[in-house]
Amino acid sequence: MIEINKPDRDRFQVDLAPLIDVVFLLLIFFMLTFAVAGQGLDLSLPQGESESEQKEEGITVRIKAGGKIIMGERAVSLGEFAELLKSELEKRQNKLVVLESDKNIRFDIFTRVMDLARKSGATDFAIIR
């Protein structure tokens, strides 16, 4: 019988030099980016307002079906609405008017009320439907 000799193969060896290089690069990266006490910028941040202060709410104006206008708890006509709202807004720092309208009102009534509120001094509006 014929004997076939297998060639001597070198065993596969892992080269650790690139692995060590990567580990040292990661070590340097983490050392440079690690936050150490005393590093950073000195900031003077503004003091916030406390939550305990009561915020002034806006004036609620409801427009009911048929064009009926209710300001607060009082029903007013379109003519006296502007005068009453102007006097109320002059007393307040917050010029917010909350418009709450019925879904069946005519759009021209809504725009008239909003225009009168703007002319009376309202600067912010919240529209609720």
2-17 pLDDT, tens per residue? Answer: 777 766 666 778 889 9
Tokens representing residue 126 in the block: 């919240």
Query: What local confidence, expressed as pLDDT, does residue 21 receive?
Result: 95
Pairwise CA distance, residues 111 & 122, whole Å = 14
If one counts the domains in the chain, the total is 1
CA distances from 127 to 40, 49, 97, 104, 119 (A): 46, 27, 9, 15, 17
Q: Which residues contact 112 (CB under 8 A, 6 or more apart)?
A: 78
What pLDDT, in 10s, does the model give residues 60-93? 899 988 888 888 888 888 888 888 988 888 888 8
Q: Which domain holds residue 84?
A: 61-128
Q: Is residue 26 domain-resident?
A: no
**Residue 15 domain flag:** no
In a domain? residue 101: yes
| Percentage of the residues of the chain whose pLDDT score is greater than 70 | 84
Q: Does the residue 54 lie in any domain?
A: no
Q: Which residue has the higher pLDDT, 99 or 48?
A: 99
Q: Please indicate, yes or no, if residue 109 is contained in any of the structural domains.
A: yes
Judged against a pLDDT cut of 70, whether residue 1 lies above it is answered with no
**Better pLDDT: 40 or 30:** 30
CATH number of domain containing 105: 3.30.420.270
Tell which wins on pLDDT, 16 or 46: 16
Smallest CA-to-CA distance from 101 within 56, 72, 58, 68 is with: 68
Kindly state whether residue 21 falls inside one of the protein's structural domains: no
Is residue 67 domain-resident?
yes
Check if the beta carbon of residue 70 is closer than 8 Å to that of residue 76: yes
For the question of whether the overall pTM of this predicted structure is more than 0.75, the answer is no
The confidence score (pLDDT) of residue 115 equals: 92
Residue 1 lies in a domain: no
